[in-house]
Amino acid sequence: MKSIMTIPGLKDVLVTKVEEIEGKYALFIEIPKRSPICPACQSITSKVQDDHIQKMNHLKWFERLTVLYYKRRCYVCSCGKRFSEKTSFIERDQRFSKEWHSYDWKRVKRMRHVFYKREAQLNEKQLWELNRYRSLSSQLKMAHELKEAYCEWFDWAKTSNGFLEGINNKTKVMKRHAYGYKRFDRLRAKILLTLKYKEVGLHLTQRL
């Protein structure tokens, strides 16, 4: 059974099947068959060579994650050119719909201060936002868990990485002032001399 449903970010899409898989809505969709123009010879063709299923994440639907299984057709022209049908909601070989990118990634960028704060210091609304976007991206969830683990380690060790960050900053300044170095050992000697490791630095410069 095929039906045209109004789904946020999707227009004139045929929904062939709706399932619930592991707490997520799985929508099997396709678009009506058309007669596209060949990008090579600019002629109209309607011959379908084959099709494949493209899986992508979409906006939440009724506060549940939505996964789209899009049946994408591949057309073939009389000139021999093969090309996929174009849609307004997904690019080729992408794993997220355009609406997911335009809404959620902008939203994540605006609320990055929530990810910077410690989880124990978040209020109820911020904690809800954090859990929402961590559930949308496994990479984002892993990065946040690593950040929390590093913060806990620094709290336990009663130390800071400020000294190391200062060394990194001085090293970058030296690279900019010199407009680059041809040899790594010269750069290393310059770093050691600048950071007051004179004995090691002099030993390296004498060897050079």
Two tokens at 59? 């906006």
pLDDT tens sequence across 119-131: 888 888 888 878 8
CA 153 to chain CA centroid, nearest Å:
27
Considering the domain architecture, whether residues 56 and 80 belong to the same structural domain is answered as: yes
* DSSP calls for 92-159: TT-SB-HHHIIIIIHHHHHTHHHHHS-GGG--HHHHHHHHHHHHH-HHHHHHHHHHHHHHHHHHHHT-
In a domain, 60, yes or no: yes
In a domain, 99, yes or no: no
pLDDT over 70 at 201, yes or no: no
In a domain, 190, yes or no: yes
Q: What is the mean pLDDT of residues 132-154?
A: 82
Considering the domain architecture, whether residues 17 and 75 belong to the same structural domain is answered as: yes
Considering the domain architecture, whether residues 126 and 202 belong to the same structural domain is answered as: no
Considering the domain architecture, whether residues 8 and 84 belong to the same structural domain is answered as: yes
Tell me the HSE value of 140 on the side-chain side, using a 13 A CA sphere: 17
In a domain, 123, yes or no: yes
pLDDT tens sequence across 56-104: 777 666 666 778 888 888 888 888 888 888 877 766 666 666 555 555 6
What gap in Å lies between CA 49 and CA 76, rounded to an integer? 6
pTM listed for this prediction: 0.45
In a domain, 100, yes or no: no
Cβ neighbors of 205 (< 8 A, separation 6 or more) are 189, 193
Considering the domain architecture, whether residues 32 and 79 belong to the same structural domain is answered as: yes
Among 105-109, 146-150, 195-199, 200-204, top mean pLDDT goes to: 146-150
In a domain, 93, yes or no: no
pLDDT over 80 at 16, yes or no: yes
In a domain, 150, yes or no: yes
Considering the domain architecture, whether residues 125 and 195 belong to the same structural domain is answered as: no
**In total, how many domains does the chain have?**
3
Q: Residue 130: which domain range?
A: 111-157
Characterise 51 by phi-psi region: left (phi > 0), alpha (psi -120 to 50), beta (else). Answer: beta
Considering the domain architecture, whether residues 150 and 132 belong to the same structural domain is answered as: yes
Query: Is the Cα dihedral 112, 118, 119, 123 positive or negative?
Result: negative
Considering the domain architecture, whether residues 125 and 187 belong to the same structural domain is answered as: no
What gap in Å lies between CA 28 and CA 70, rounded to an integer? 6
In a domain, 25, yes or no: yes
Considering the domain architecture, whether residues 144 and 166 belong to the same structural domain is answered as: no
What gap in Å lies between CA 105 and CA 97, rounded to an integer? 11
